[in-house]
Amino acid sequence: MQAELLERAYRRSFPVPSQTVMVEAARGMIEVVTGLPGSEVVFEVNEQVQRAAKPDEDATVGTASTLPQAGYARIFARMEPRFEVGAKLVRLSVADSQAVVFDWDPTLRMVILIKVTVPPGVSLAVQNVSAGVSVPATFKGNLKVGSDSGSVYAQCIEGDFLARTDSGSVTVAEVTGRAELRSDSGLVLAGILSGPAFLRTSNGSIEVQQPRGDLKVRGDHADIILGLSAPLPASTDIRTSAGVVTLNIDANLPVTIDAATKLLGTVRVRGLAPAVREGGPGRSVLVADFNGGGPLVKVRTFGAAVAIIGRAPLDG
């Protein structure tokens, strides 16, 4: 029997609301796309019944001649997308596919694929339980994503980007506006952050490759990796507990670093020549200027080390 048994596809378009477009879908994959200027909001939902990759050996599998078509119709009717349209808000809601039970064939499952297209400048909010959210190209607008265990991947957000997941990961290559990225127990990875940014994780890790706006990072039992190149943020504040903080700094970058670790660990310097104001390399405190000093980078960790490493400048 084919892996794909039955399928329903829905496509609806609506005028742009004055405030927000919203997608609520517990599971599946959600793709976010920026459309043409002046276009409408477009929702595309594809629901598929598929055979599980590795069926339970004890499961009773139906045959093509015995599959109850009425049962499929009932399930698809229950899973039909709902649309709420108003002057301020346009919303797509899709029921939770985990509640779908194919009682005649337990090897079947429901797979949901969603694509939402909005014109430039429109704000979009996505809420889910464990769906993956993908922004494969530049999104021109403000985007907010909330999830319990799904992961978020975005190429470029030309606007504000707020993403929170409890146990998934958040990855974004570039954000031009404000960024607020949180994962309770997963990876937070960001490339270029041009605006003010706040990143947080617990029992995960954070990496920022090139912050340009004011940066605040908070971690609990989290390792943090930060790349520093010109132009530096005016303010950089890094704090974590029981996690190593690594600063990868362009060797010719004028910067001032105030780093301290408590209980265990030291501040280590490699490939750079610090002009020490307080403490020193190999101690628990180091306040020093590099290349004459510059914007302040403040680092605090508890029970772990701080590593300050010089590297070849990214601009060559």
Structure tokens belonging to residue 34: 């920026």
Q: In 3D, which of 37, 15, 176, 178 has the Cα closest to residue 120? A: 37
Helix, strand, coil percent content, the chain, rounded in steps of 5: 5, 55, 40
Note the pLDDT of residue 63: 46
Q: In 3D, which of 110, 82, 141 has the Cα closest to residue 8? A: 110
Element (H, E) at 32: strand 29-34
Residue keyed to tokens 């029921």: 95
Note the pLDDT of residue 236: 98
Mean pLDDT value across the chain: 91
Structure tokens belonging to residue 65: 């001649």
Sequence ranges of the domains in the chain: 1-177, 207-316
Structure tokens belonging to residue 205: 């890790």
Note the pLDDT of residue 299: 98
Note the pLDDT of residue 242: 86
Instruction: Evaluate whether 268 touches 308 at the Cβ level (below 8 Å).
Output: yes
Phi-psi region of 19 (alpha: psi -120 to 50; beta: other; left: phi over 0): alpha
Residue 220 identity (one-letter amino acid):
D
Note the pLDDT of residue 264: 81
Note the pLDDT of residue 311: 96
Phi-psi region of 14 (alpha: psi -120 to 50; beta: other; left: phi over 0): beta
Q: What's the pLDDT tens digit per position in 240-280?
A: 998 999 999 999 999 999 999 988 899 999 999 999 999 99
Which ranges of the chain have pLDDT less than 50?
A: 1-4, 59-66
From residue 128, alpha-carbon distances to 22, 125, 168, 201 in Å are 11, 10, 12, 19
Note the pLDDT of residue 1: 39
Element (H, E) at 72: helix 69-78
Beta strands in 82-142 (DSSP E): 82-85, 89-94, 108-118, 123-128, 132-139
